[in-house]
Structure 1
């Protein structure tokens, strides 16, 4: 049975933009594991009924069904111990969990206030009403209002990246000389932003932007060309 990863898609089924799915995609690539990605859209809940989930990523590996990007990373690390490690040991895994929490609580909410308004233009027409209603309920305001002050808010977001910036001034990747899962986590957020929006979330010349270029090079041509598929 082929290894499958259910992955969020836009109007173009080849356009994949979820930050969590990018974490899983890079984790699989890091392990050197082949996978077939299955496009999934917000309103296709029945397509994931087998998993008990209403969102992606969901990994199907033989008879195992694993939802959630962090759980997928743990599963891959345990199930394929002879493949390159995603973490580099239990202590590094604990630090990666911290990075995962930071990305979910600081990076992604900050990016949401900068790029959310641009996402509907990338979606299949069936997903647009769901996206607006679900995000309005979650954010407590219309999607357009979420990003209304993004030209000024972007500086606040860039300031929130100071911990990343301080690390990346002294080493090429968060994990040292080569990327590992902590890098994949943070890359997922920035890849999401660059896929769905042209808004400049990073300043030119920022060491974080330079790291992102190195991560795109490591991720391969498919990651770099993804924004061109959004329309």
Structure 2
């Protein structure tokens, strides 16, 4: 049975953009599992699965439904152990937990505020109203004020990637010679930015950029199925 992945979209439902949904999509593809994307907009999330969940991604696998990208990855690992591993053991789970926290602070801490206006522009009017109200409450200022100055902060962001850059100078993936869920955590965030905005987060000669290109090629080019924002 094909697994359903509830996937966050804007006005164009062919362009899913949530970093967390992309983590789940990469994880499903890594396991070689058939899945279909079910497009959901911000204001529709509360209605999926009879209102059982309040965030995405959510997957429906037969009689079971799960929320949260990391919990989905753990479920897939436990339920389909015969398929390629997302963690390669307990150490990989711990590594992925660290990468998740690092990515949330270092990557999302800069990328999230920087993309606010472009995310808003990609939404339908009802979702725009929800997004503006919820994010301005979260940040304590307007979207415009929060996004302002991303160009001036860019070099500092790029410098903060030094540990990842040094690692990827010596190996193909965070997981070693092949990708693990830790790679998908980070790749999902860069894919979020790629789908929403043409703003150049990475220099072309950055090893992190080369790694991300490799991630986009994985699983028959799953990441490239959605063109980059122009």
TM-score, length of structure 1 as denominator length:
0.94
Does structure 1 retain, via aligned residues, the 8 Å contact 2:87–2:93?
yes
Deviation at 1:125, TM superposition (A): 2.2
Deviation at 1:225, TM superposition (A): 4.4
- Give the match for residue 114 of structure 1: 114
- The one-character-per-residue Cα deviations of 1:68-99 (angstroms, maximum 9, x if unpaired) are 00000000000000010001011121111111
- Give the match for residue 184 of structure 1: 184
Matched, 1:164 2:149: no
- Residue aligned with 1:86, SS: coil
Structure 1 range deviating more: 89-98 or 50-59:
50-59
Deviation at 1:142, TM superposition (A): 0.8
Does structure 2 retain, via aligned residues, the 8 Å contact 1:51–1:65?
no
Deviation at 1:48, TM superposition (A): 2.0
TM-score, length of structure 2 as denominator length:
0.95
Does structure 2 retain, via aligned residues, the 8 Å contact 1:114–1:154?
no
- The one-character-per-residue Cα deviations of 1:19-73 (angstroms, maximum 9, x if unpaired) are 0000000000000000111000001134225362222000111111100000000
Does structure 1 retain, via aligned residues, the 8 Å contact 2:46–2:53?
no
> What are the equivalent positions in structure 2 for 1:45-194 lying under 5 Å apart?
45-48=45-48, 50=50, 52-194=52-194
Does structure 2 retain, via aligned residues, the 8 Å contact 1:7–1:38?
yes
Q: Hey, what's the Cα distance between the residues in 1 that align with 2:23 and 2:36?
A: 15
Q: Hey, what's the Cα distance between the residues in 1 that align with 2:168 and 2:2?
A: 38
Does structure 2 retain, via aligned residues, the 8 Å contact 1:132–1:143?
yes
Structure 1, gaps ≥5 residues long: none
- Give the match for residue 41 of structure 2: 41
- Give the match for residue 19 of structure 1: 19
Matched, 1:226 2:229: no
Q: How many correspondences in the alignment? A: 230
CA pair 219-200 structure 1, distance change in 2 beyond 3 A: farther
Does structure 2 retain, via aligned residues, the 8 Å contact 1:7–1:37?
yes
- Give the match for residue 211 of structure 1: 211
Q: Hey, what's the Cα distance between the residues in 2 that align with 1:100 and 1:21?
A: 14
Q: Hey, what's the Cα distance between the residues in 1 that align with 2:44 and 2:64?
A: 21
Does structure 1 retain, via aligned residues, the 8 Å contact 2:21–2:69?
yes
- The one-character-per-residue Cα deviations of 1:90-141 (angstroms, maximum 9, x if unpaired) are 1121111111111122211211132222111211222111111111011111
Structure 2, gaps ≥5 residues long: none
Q: Hey, what's the Cα distance between the residues in 2 that align with 1:152 and 1:209?
A: 20
Deviation at 1:222, TM superposition (A): 4.5
Structure 1 range deviating more: 32-41 or 50-59:
50-59
